[in-house]
Structure 1
């Protein structure tokens, strides 16, 4: 009887491992919001990492997190390094492409809690007196990350943070656009 239970456990674990291995390694999470401000005003809030503390959802998770800045004040080459509690971890973001009022592309390198990299984009599209902002993140997931996302929905977790961040960005930008 004990042998059958052990074989069943091994079979279930093996089946789970096969299922995880067959999951796609590439991922993409995307959310959009409408901001009642010009693309120039909205772009300015994202293009300068010094502004992120006012709207980033992760800044609210650890107000004591340490942030340092390198390179230019904004735009291509600007770097933000952070270190915080277990909820925000440690890593860096680098603006790799910046097209005024159109696009900010960022490479994020995570150190803690898991090492890895991701690419994020903010796309700004004018719509009369409004701007449609789309925030996306894409990258590759290793076996462990795929296993975690099998149990917990990664799109909902990251997407939920994006939704909070976009709502904060909307509030900050519209407040300044007044």
Structure 2
């Protein structure tokens, strides 16, 4: 009886292993949102890692997370590394492609709690009402990754974070657009005031033309 149970258990394990191994290795998680701002404003928030803490869905998970920056301020070669609690783990990001203001590709390397390397792409397209942002992550699962996906829906799990991030990015973009509008209004007002002052000074300095005596 015990032998039959062991044989049955072994067979079940082999079937499960075979099923897991047959699962697709490649995966893609993608979310799309329209943000109320021009492409250059939205692009700037993604192309510079120094801006990410304002909208990243993971930044708030560990207020004590340690971060370091490397390379240029933004664009190709810019790097960002983090070490935090069990929720955020440890890893690094590097911008591999940057095409203003259309596309940013980031190499995403997880170190802890498990090692993995994925590619993250942001595409920006002008549309009515602002900029359509497509945030996608793609990669390849090893055997353990395939097994994990049997019990956890990666698209739902990561996609939920993407949705939170895009919602936060919307708020950042709205604030930046408002800031730029206020700065432009102030510039126009200052220019107008300068013109009026110059005209007034010119009028005061103009010579008085004597009127002919009748």
Bigger proportion of residues as helix: 2
TM-aligned CA deviation for residue 7 of structure 1: 2.3
> Comparing 139-148 with 168-177, which one deviates more in the overlay?
168-177
1:38 aligns with 2:38: yes
Alpha-carbon distance in structure 2 between the residues aligned to 1:116 and 1:37: 34
TM-aligned CA deviation for residue 116 of structure 1: 1.4
The one of the two structures with greater contact order (alpha-carbon pairs below 8 A, sep at least 6) is: 1
Bigger proportion of residues as strand: 1
TM-score, normalised by the number of residues in structure 2: 0.81
Alignment of 1:9-158 (within 5 A): 9-158=9-158
How many pairs does the alignment contain?
Answer: 178
Matched position secondary structure for 1:57: coil
Alpha-carbon distance in structure 2 between the residues aligned to 1:175 and 1:2: 68
Alpha-carbon distance in structure 2 between the residues aligned to 1:160 and 1:78: 26
TM-aligned CA deviation for residue 49 of structure 1: 0.3
Gaps of 5+ in 1: none
TM-aligned CA deviation for residue 2 of structure 1: 2.6
Question: 1:108-132: CA deviations, max 9, x gaps?
Answer: 1111111110000000000134100
Q: Which residue of 1 aligns with 2:168?
A: 168
Alpha-carbon distance in structure 1 between the residues aligned to 2:153 and 2:67: 29
Aligned Cα root-mean-square deviation (Å): 1.0
TM-score, normalised by the number of residues in structure 1: 0.96
